[in-house]
Amino acid sequence: MPEPVVSSAHLAAGESPALSEFEFALTLAANAYQRWIVRCAAAAGSSLSPLEVLVLHTVRHRDRAKRLADIMLVLDIEDTHLATYAVRKLTAAGLVDATRAGKEKLIGATAAGRAFCDRYAEIRERLLVHPLVSDGPGDDGISQVAERMRSLSGQYNQAARAAATL
């Protein structure tokens, strides 16, 4: 069996070298994904940070306005100020706006925000989805990886809570 590809041999020396291998792959994937969404956003016409792109797509999801707490929950954002700052930047760019529903502030995509998301989706289909469908692992394989990653994220969250008590 080949040795795992890791970035930190001292972490791979423990009980699960495969976990270290996963963490290195996750780091590479996360950095590549963030680079991709920033470049795709630029091609779609807006200079946004990775978090701003993710917040905008979350707000656009099902074309229903969202509470800030729901955006943070969906994206697993712990720091309120990060989400608030992203919403402020998106508001200043004219991509989202806030409305009131009783005491709640709801954030929704503007017409410009929806147009941006549509353009982003077109570019994503052409540059990422089409090549991936042509020679990638297929939807079933991608879904299995996504399911495993969601499960592992729960393990990391639990470990983070435990580490906070030390």
- 90 within 8 A of 96, measured Cβ to Cβ: yes
Domain ranges of the chain: 16-135
Query: What are the residues facing 100 on neighbouring strands?
Result: 105
Given this model, what pLDDT does residue 8 score? 86
| Ranges under pLDDT 50 in the chain | none
Q: In a 10 Å sphere around its CB, with 0-12 CB exposed, 13-18 middle and 19+ buried, how is residue 53 labelled?
A: buried
Given this model, what pLDDT does residue 118 score? 98
Identify the CATH class of 16-135.
mainly alpha
Given this model, what pLDDT does residue 139 score? 92
Q: Smallest Cα–Cα separation from 25: which of 152, 154, 162, 165?
A: 152
pTM above 0.85, yes or no: yes
Cα pseudo-dihedral 14, 19, 7, 9, rounded to 10 = 10
